[in-house]
Structure 1
Amino acid sequence: MKQNDKKLSRGLIHYKPVEAVFFNQSTLELAKILLGCLLVKETDEGTASGFIVETEAYRGPLDRAAHSFNNRRTKRTEVMFAEAGRVYTYVMHTHCLVNVVSGEIDLPEAVLIRAVEPYEGIDLMLKRRGGTAMKNVTSGPGKLTKALGITMEDYGRRFDEPPIYIAPGFTPEDISTGPRIGIPNSGEAKDYPWRFWVSGNMYVSK
């Protein structure tokens, strides 16, 4: 696959986490620059990783689609009030979803990672996903967490240190923007163009 060949030529097998300062920018900017980065998870079964190809920004207190709308502070949202770069995992319809906490301390914002393109540990991902078709392995927020082995145990960890971290990857040639998915009851927020994806990538969620 031509696109993969270009990525493999970058020699990313020996990757290392980004520095903490990487996360210190606006939520909308972070949602865009995360595209092309590697999401890595180390487990006893092995390491699995994928290039982030789709994200959604959630802008906290003023965003009716955000869990922290109106500064809602619960056991689930507590980590959103921490410093940027923390792992925010939660369960929806039995699926674990993973977010990158963004914004300043006590400004609860986050970026949902919606899809990744498999990179390392593909056999392990296929095993975890029950032998599904390759294009469906990580093409959704619940699919990618299962494939990579991301669980609620990762809640509160940092994305700049193992066992779950983000590493440099590639720079997308083109980024598309549109409304977020699956938030029909969020008023005007359902129309905000805060979903970002690598244009033409086959692993973007459908």
Structure 2
Amino acid sequence: MEEWRGTSSTSSKVKAISGRSFITHLTSNKGLQVLYNTTMGLSSCLPRDWYARDPLLVARELLGMHLVRLLDGQVLRGVISETEAYRGEEDLACHARVGRTPRTAVMYGQPGVAYVYFTYGMHWCLNAVCLPPDFPAAVLIRAVEPVDGLAVINARRAGRLRARWTDGPAKLTQAFGVDGQQNGVDLTSQAGGLWIEAGEPVPDERVITGPRVGIHNVSEPWRSLPWRFRTHFLSQEGRG
């Protein structure tokens, strides 16, 4: 796994955590092993206990998973390509740093639900809640690579290049029709029209880590922790 910024001490800790391949977890969990058996062509929502783990692990292993949205009868799908981990009240970049509020209440609930919040007075951002109840943590889904429902996504992102359809958290929520109505939706079920399915795990050599975005006013060490994960695909496409 490649690191592009961040202190050596914090990056080594993250590498130690995120470097634990989920394949090891699969060998002790036959249910999840079946989920990832792509040779059988199986596809299913990631189960709740998959999210009930350290957000650093969840953020790393969400890369390659499929974000799916049922919108007006159309299925939209994107391969998750960039994430950020936010962990607990002690994390000064996390919304939960102020404790439980009406806004953050979802983060204190069941893992595997959507935490959708409004920011900058114009944008929605989608997160997946992690860890057991009462310990607030979440993973921000920053970008996906669209693979299904391209005509709908194109219409919702009219005038943009395909490489820019969903290469940012606000862009992907606009493209997938995600807003405050999806706050609290169960991502482990298709019932709410928004879920995450098992995909193909991304090997460490294709993952880049670095500091989280847009937290310049946050004090250290939180500002420089390499808790952002992205694939080489997104890195090579460029940003804008």
Return the TM-score normalized by structure 1.
0.89
Structure 1 residue 204: deviation in Å?
7.2
Answer whether contact 2:61 2:202 (CA < 8 A) is retained. no
User: RMSD of the alignment, in Å?
Assistant: 1.9
Is structure 2 residue 133 aligned with structure 1 residue 105? Answer: yes
CA shift for structure 1 position 203? 5.8
Match of 1:55 in 2: 83
- Any unmatched runs of 5+ in structure 1? 1-9
Q: Is 1:88 paired with 2:118?
A: no
Structure 1 residue 143 corresponds to structure 2 residue 171: yes
Shift of 1:131: 2.9
Contact kept, 8 Å, 1:138 with 1:203, in 2: the verdict is no
Q: Give the drift of 1:20.
A: 1.8
In the alignment, the residues of structure 2 paired with residue 204 and residue 198 of structure 1 have an alpha-carbon distance, to the nearest angstrom, of: 12
Does structure 2 retain, via aligned residues, the 8 Å contact 1:87–1:98? yes
Deviations 1:105-154 (A, max 9, x none): 11111000000000110110010012310000000000001111111100
How many correspondences in the alignment? 196
1:187 to 219, 223, 227: 219
1:167 aligns with 2:200: no
Question: Using the alignment, how far apart are the partners of 1:12 and 1:76 within structure 2?
Answer: 41
Deviation at 1:15?
A: 3.5
Q: Distance in 1 between matches of 2:230 and 2:102?
A: 30
Q: How much has 1:14 moved relative to structure 2?
A: 7.6
TM-score by length of 2: 0.77
* SS in structure 2 of the partner of residue 190 of structure 1: coil
2: CA distance, partners of 1:148 / 1:131: 16
What code does the residue aligned with 1:151 have?
Answer: D
Larger radius of gyration: 2
Distance 1:203 1:68 in 2: 33
**Residue 155 of structure 1: which of 183, 186, 208 is its match?**
183
Residues 36 and 28 of structure 1, relative CA distance in 2, 3 Å threshold: same
Q: Is the 8 A contact 2:63 2:83 kept in 1?
A: yes
Tell me how far apart the structure 2 counterparts of residues 30 and 61 of structure 1 sit (CA, whole Å): 18
> Identity of paired residues, percent?
36
The gaps in structure 2 that reach 5 residues or longer are 1-37
Structure ranking higher in strand proportion = 1
